[in-house]
Structure 1
Amino acid sequence: MEAKMADCHYDFIIIGTGAGGGTLAYKLASSGKKILILERGNFLPKEKANWDTKQVSQKEHYRTSEVWYDKNGQAIYPLTHYFVGGNTKFYGGALFRLRERDFDQVIHQDGISPAWPLSYQDFAPYYDEAEKIYEVHGQRGLDPTEPPTNLDYPFPAISHEPYIKEIKYSLKNLDLHPFYLPIAIKLNELNRYLSKCIRCNTCDGFPCLVDAKGDADINGIRRAIAANNLKLITDAKVIKLHTSASGREVTGVEAEISGKRQIFSGHIVIVACGAINSAALLLQSANDQHPNGLANSSNLVGRYYMSHNFGVVMSLSKKPHYTSFPKTLGVNDFYWGEKDFAYPMGSIQSLGNVNKDKIAAYGPPLMPKILAEKLARHSIAWLVMTEDLPSYNNRVTWKNDTIYLEYKSNNQTAFNRLIKRWVEVLKSLQVYQEGNCAIHIPQKMGVREVGHQCGTCRFGEDPQTSVLDINCRTHDCDNLYVVDGSFFPSSAAVNPSLTIIANALRVGEHLLDRMK
């Protein structure tokens, strides 16, 4: 199929509208520069299915139908979504700063987490800005690992519902330090008439029917497209980047739109498709000047893929509870280890509401509906997360027009210990004593859980050991940037979204200076 050259030339072309691309569009929009945004998906439709637990949890109605493969050729059905706003349309909105030590070299029992080329102090002002843009609610001074800042959260913490409050006090009685999760949400608990959020039981993992979630669509793209200088084209899948004869500049962005191919040109091209798809796009853009993939002279594009070690601990108690919005509590007391284990372990967070359809999706086949409903009323779920260490052999490749995700889990000693330790803590809680006994069931998540994907185009100062420079420009192409989770040299053990957002603001400032 022959591609047609589009008439317009743009100052900036942004590919992708997730946490990185959506935030960067917002940052650049007020500059007056001519901006094109290409998004392979469309706006997520507002419909009853947004809050239908059966459609979202069981049938995975909004998940891409795309199939990837592992290194053995086994199919992977990734839990990823292609809409304006990317995966932030479905995230739980937990926006953490990396810990200050996460930017340094960290020794784990099973390996080394490398130092970043920049420090926490370099990111701190952009974290401040990111929390304002995404309307983060929280409370400083409770998390023993939180990094320094002179600013309070833009909005007060989301209150705990009674059952979560009981758990919080039980944790404090064990000399632990539970804290309010930092959540991006449009909630006003002092005046419900001014609150977009209705504190429903379908938030974490669901799209928001009333636009109350602080995501890259509502807080980024919708604000950006109000500017007359910015054009958004949806259902535009970018399939190749073209370069000049020297290979030093990207001269064309080829996209498939409504079955036709068009090539757009821009002074600066920014790839923000998510760590997996950004790497795949660079690899499939190979040409004579870049035979191993665009910007891949280091042979590192696609390598060092990370996505965290995830586990879910389901607590089933004897007494029922009626919690709608449980995702408000975190525990980081074991983040850097504990007395008899001098290595990092990770973070713990309460998850969104457990519903009958989610239990049916992950439980035994043909589970009776009435049993799933009863289990849901007695359940609280916890996310247990340990750092996924960067491994050269964990990688994204592009073969036969298909993504291959080659991945072997690591850092399992700390991960297993954290799961075991958290189950021990739960068993000791006062809330589960005195006739309210509980069982705590751990389950590890698999390779299809790609919500925290990062690391495939790591940044650094040496072109031999990194794909991007410290401003996220590719070492090999002067006008090509990658602004999503690809740039992470390590994954830490907290959600990556706020760091992706903060980095997009940082790179956006650099791009505006460059365009002067």
Structure 2
Amino acid sequence: MQQSADIVIVGSGVGGSSLAFSLAETGRKIVILERGDYLNDTPEARDDVAIFQKGFYKSTEEWLGTDGESFLPGNYYYVGGNSKFFGAVMYRYRKEDFGARPHLDGGSPGWPIQYEDLEPWYERAEDVFQVRGAIDQDPTEPPHSSPYAHPPVPDEPAIAAVRSRLQKAGIHPSSLPLAIDLEEWLKRAETGWDAFPNTGLGKIDAEAGPLARALLHPNVSVVTGASVSRLETDASGHRVTAAVFVKDGVEQRIRADVFAVAAGAVQSAALLLRSANNAHPSGLGNSSDQLGRNFMNHNTTAMLTLDFRAPNTAVYQKTLGFNDYYNNDNEYGYPLGNVQLLGHITGNILKANFPVAAPAWVTKLIARYAYGWFLTSEDLPNPESRVMIKDNRIVMHWIRSNMRAHEALIKKTRSVMRKAGFPIVLTHTFGRKTTSHQCGTARLGNNPALSVVDPNCRSHDIENLYITDASVLPTSAAVNPALTVAALAIKAGAAIGKG
């Protein structure tokens, strides 16, 4: 079956939907190919047992580690991608993240653009995701050309008390920038949103935000259940001519003038590697041999702080964080990372993640007094940390980096929490099965010998191929990357629109 379009986008997550939004007003026929379906509202959508204990929404797709062990990576495949389940935190990368700087165990190479180059696109991304926030609370907040359009999501009383305790401990807690319409979210059910699927308009994910705006234009459409197997080029290899996908068991082909891959850092690299041909024997756009390399997956730890004198009465909880150790102004002299609240941890969520078998009454009792935190440190790019394809299967080789900095962040945060009056502090550091902001497999750069795409996200090798997801991030920084992905995609759309 043959189809045609002006622009084909593979993937409807943050990068793909933001690109479609950016291009929608051009009037060009835009077709988004999404392997998943729309996520429908069902009772399981706010059921913490179904989600966290039974894994109702998890994909069964397995990846293979280079140690030979198969594992479930925890990625989601729906219209809107992983953002359907994200914590809705939309940080800008800090200004320092764009420059080269040393870390405890290595260095961050910096970007080919500066923060100022991306700032106008951050503004547009914050608008389409309706981000709520404040610019005057966090000392590391980079310059904004205008304030957030919406005030921060309010702290609940229990969290306001935690904010005060942290301030007394010498910390600068700040409101998280959140893509949440709180009233709309709580209208469906009184739960947190972190790791809960969005089946309405309360969480402004990729579907509810940029994709909804794009689909207001009749020239934009989505094909669901479309699993893209490869991209084809002309004989010279200079242009992509078609995307080949399978829908309902039938192989189909769609031709276009422009192709953008936005299937996620792992899946995008895998697709381009699978698309190798005579003109591109090592994968499309891979003359640099950097495709699939420099995979990064934040170093992350969950921290549980308990104070049996102060019950946690919060419903959603996830409204504050702090970046006091984000830059090098600490006794270690190096960047350590970000600390932010998790969504409220219920007894059922805690039971699903408890290190030993425990009855529900025990985990519910602990959860009543628990505050969950998410600690993030930068993972540094390494060309040997990579995505590969073997027998058409994704193979992951993640070489963890910068762990001394992460351990220092845990130590510093534990000390702060005890100073803030939490006598019990528990931690669990995540491994490769936790997909903590995968990025870096098609790095952005000026030098075609060292990168895969240029600063407008266009392939150095193929004139009509773009990559507009977290693959292109040259560094992982230590904050949630969704807003940066959206900003880069909107910026890429402006460049494509001029072509």
| Fold agreement, TM-score > 0.5 | yes
| Alpha-carbon distance, 1:60 to partner | 1.7
| Alpha-carbon distance, 1:476 to partner | 1.1
The 2-side partners of 1:271 and 1:354 are apart by 35
- Partner in structure 2 of residue 411 of structure 1: 402
Specify the code of the residue in structure 2 equivalent to 1:242.
E
| Alpha-carbon distance, 1:61 to partner | 1.3
- Partner in structure 1 of residue 86 of structure 2: 91
- Partner in structure 1 of residue 262 of structure 2: 272
- Partner in structure 1 of residue 314 of structure 2: 323
Q: Deviations over 1:191-226 (max 9, x none)?
A: xxxx45448323100112432101001112222222
SS at structure 2 position matched to 1:415: helix
Map 1:224-373; keep pairs closer than 5 Å. 224-319=214-309, 320-373=311-364
> Is contact 2:37-2:79 (8 Å) kept?
yes
Map 1:156-235; keep pairs closer than 5 Å. 156-187=151-182, 195=184, 197-198=186-187, 200-235=190-225
Cα pair distance change 1:63/1:29, threshold 3 Å: same
- Partner in structure 2 of residue 489 of structure 1: 474
- Partner in structure 1 of residue 366 of structure 2: 375
1:498 to 469, 483, 490: 483
1:145 to 140, 143, 149: 140
| Alpha-carbon distance, 1:365 to partner | 4.2
Check if 1:455 corresponds to 2:440.
yes
Specify the code of the residue in structure 1 equivalent to 2:339.
I
| Alpha-carbon distance, 1:150 to partner | 2.8
SS at structure 2 position matched to 1:137: coil
**More deviation, 199-208/392-401:** 199-208
- What 5-or-longer segments of structure 1 have no aligned partner? 189-194, 433-437
The 1-side partners of 2:300 and 2:281 are apart by 36
SS at structure 2 position matched to 1:252: strand
The 1-side partners of 2:339 and 2:394 are apart by 31
Q: Deviations over 1:279-302 (max 9, x none)?
A: 000000011111111111111100
SS at structure 1 position matched to 2:138: coil
> Is contact 2:300-2:436 (8 Å) kept?
no
SS at structure 2 position matched to 1:30: helix
> Is contact 2:312-2:371 (8 Å) kept?
no
| Alpha-carbon distance, 1:172 to partner | 1.1
TM-score by length of 1: 0.94
Aligned residues: 497
> Is contact 1:271-1:278 (8 Å) kept?
yes
The 2-side partners of 1:386 and 1:80 are apart by 21
> Is contact 1:53-1:202 (8 Å) kept?
no
The 1-side partners of 2:221 and 2:152 are apart by 36
Check if 1:446 corresponds to 2:431.
yes
- Partner in structure 2 of residue 192 of structure 1: none
> Is contact 2:192-2:317 (8 Å) kept?
no
The 2-side partners of 1:391 and 1:165 are apart by 40
> Is contact 2:298-2:436 (8 Å) kept?
no
- Partner in structure 2 of residue 19 of structure 1: 14
- Partner in structure 2 of residue 388 of structure 1: 379
| Alpha-carbon distance, 1:444 to partner | 0.3
SS at structure 2 position matched to 1:397: strand
| Alpha-carbon distance, 1:316 to partner | 2.1
> Is contact 1:14-1:38 (8 Å) kept?
yes
Check if 1:108 corresponds to 2:103.
yes
SS at structure 1 position matched to 2:414: helix
The 1-side partners of 2:435 and 2:191 are apart by 23
- Partner in structure 2 of residue 435 of structure 1: none
> Is contact 1:256-1:262 (8 Å) kept?
yes
- What 5-or-longer segments of structure 2 have no aligned partner? none
SS at structure 1 position matched to 2:87: coil
SS at structure 2 position matched to 1:419: helix
> Is contact 2:304-2:426 (8 Å) kept?
yes
Q: How well do the aligned residues superpose, as a CA RMSD in angstroms?
A: 1.2
- Partner in structure 1 of residue 114 of structure 2: 119
2:460 to 475, 493, 504: 475
The 1-side partners of 2:270 and 2:405 are apart by 31
The 2-side partners of 1:19 and 1:347 are apart by 22
Question: Moved runs in structure 1, 4+ residues, more than 6 A?
Answer: none
The 2-side partners of 1:81 and 1:397 are apart by 20
State percent identity of aligned pairs: 38
The 1-side partners of 2:318 and 2:432 are apart by 24
SS at structure 2 position matched to 1:491: coil
| Alpha-carbon distance, 1:104 to partner | 0.4
The 2-side partners of 1:373 and 1:500 are apart by 37
Q: Deviations over 1:42-96 (max 9, x none)?
A: 0011101011101111122111110001111101211110000000000010000
The 1-side partners of 2:213 and 2:144 are apart by 27
Specify the code of the residue in structure 2 equivalent to 1:485.
A
The 1-side partners of 2:90 and 2:437 are apart by 12
